[in-house]
Amino acid sequence: MSRAYNFSAGPAALPESVLRQVQEEMLEWQGERASVMEVSHRGKAFVECAAAAERDLRELMAIPDDYHVLFLQGGATTLAALLPMNLAGADATADYVLTGHWGEKALDNARPLLRTNIAASGKAGGYVDIPPVGEWQLTPGAAFVHYTPNETIHGIEFRDIPDVGDVPLVADVSSNFMSAPIDVSRFGVLYGGAQKNLGPSGLAIAIVRKDLLGRHGRALPPIFELQNQAKNDSMFNTPPTFAWYVLGLVLKWAREQGGTAAIGERNRRKAELLYSAIDGSGGYYRNAVAPAARSWMNVPFFLPDAALDKPFLQEAEAAGLLGLKGHRAVGGMRASIYNAMPEAGVQALVDFMADFARRHG
């Protein structure tokens, strides 16, 4: 056996050096004479580990001091419900911009909680482009505008942050978290699950402008009140300690890679390599997304005939290229090339695709 290149959409590939460190210190962590999974979250060693992860994320993403960084249980879908509860009352209106599956799901979770307005949707066009920002039907005085900067299933990514005036922008960045430099100060909330770019599943991260919390006027169960997590360094209840620890190792790895700018450059090169291979295949491979809206993280593509999907996947697996099956909502193939995917992995995929096209052309 040997490790393969893993193009899974999430849970997704982690840096091998991180896995090796986890392996090495599995039974005894940092002189604690116990696994990191076995120690108290309130003990000195874990509190320092957790704080270091927050410091590193703040530095890597240049998160301003007037933002909380919350480490929470669950995933982005959990926050898709918790955020509307925490950002506004039931009579407020929130605008939702839909550019794919996850934007729809976020809306579904908000609907029972406040008034919602679909400010723009790419659904009628099959989610292959971003509705022009100038045409968004925004609600004056909305509590927030929600959008999904990268849609994992449809492979659509915003290259620019939309200007929505003074209304707080709330963004589900699950699938492009820390994938390139981003101006956090332009957002009210950035949130996402860790399991694509940052760590294992079971941990969600919310970067929240401090003034937005505690103003909703709802009677919430204390465990759903994000202000309680903010006041307790995300330890209002027992946090998912192992996932938090792995996140910390991934962030140290990201620093070693040269930080977010270097990672962003590499992600751009990886995406260009793959899209060039698709566009340069003489029509053998196709990506349906408008070029300006193509994701650097999730690259869906189609073969000339769906009957070729099965041999493509089988041969890819045999060649050590895993997780390439497209989401059932879109079909075809999808290569997720998150931060931890090395350029050599994308090169191996591109080489395989060229060879497959030759043999099955």
Residue ranges in contact with its own copies by CB under 8 A: 1-4, 6, 8-14, 16, 19-20, 22-23, 26-28, 31-35, 37-41, 43, 73-75, 77-78, 80-81, 105, 108-113, 193, 195, 200-203, 219-224, 236-243, 246, 320, 322-323
Instruction: Write down the catalytic residue from 172, 244, 253, 270.
Output: 172
Question: Tell me, what DSSP letter sits at residue 17?
Answer: H
252 is annotated as an active-site residue: no
Q: Is 51 annotated as a binding residue?
A: no
3-state DSSP helix/strand/coil % of the chain, to nearest 5: 40, 15, 45
Q: Which is nearer to its own copies, 36 or 119 (CB)?
A: 36
> CB 79 → its own copies: shortest distance, Å?
9
> Which among 29, 102, 253, 296 is annotated as catalytic?
102
Please report how close the Cβ of residue 359 comes to its own copies at its closest, in angstroms: 23
Residue 159: Cβ within 10 Å count? 12
- Cα within 13 Å of Cα(146), Cβ side: 32
237 is in an annotated binding site: yes
The answer to whether the beta carbons of residues 194 and 72 sit under 8 Å apart is no
Structure tokens at 96: 């939702």
Q: CB nearer to its own copies: give 11 or 259.
A: 11
Q: Which is nearer to its own copies, 293 or 346 (CB)?
A: 346
Catalytic residue from among 196, 244, 296, 325: 196
Task: Pull the structure tokens for residue 330.
Answer: 């879109």
Task: Label residue 42 exposed, middle or buried (CB < 10 Å: 0-12, 13-18, 19+).
Answer: exposed
196 catalytic? Reply is yes
172 annotated as a binding-site residue = yes
Rounded Cα distance between 350 and 278, Å, is 9
| 45 versus 262: smaller Cβ distance to its own copies | 45
3-state secondary structure 235-304: CCCCCCHHHHHHHHHHHHHHHHCCHHHHHHHHHHHHHHHHHHHHHCCCCCCECCCCHHHECCCEEEEECC
Nearest to 311 by CA among 277, 356, 355, 265: 356
Task: State yes or no: is 102 an active-site residue.
Answer: yes
* Distance of closest approach, residue 337 Cβ to its own copies, in angstroms: 14
Which one, 109 or 281, has the nearer CB to its own copies?
109
The catalytic residues are 102, 172, 196
- Residues at the binding site for pyridoxal 5'-phosphate are 76-77, 102, 152, 172, 195, 237-238
- Residues at the binding site are 42, 76-77, 102, 152, 172, 195, 237-238
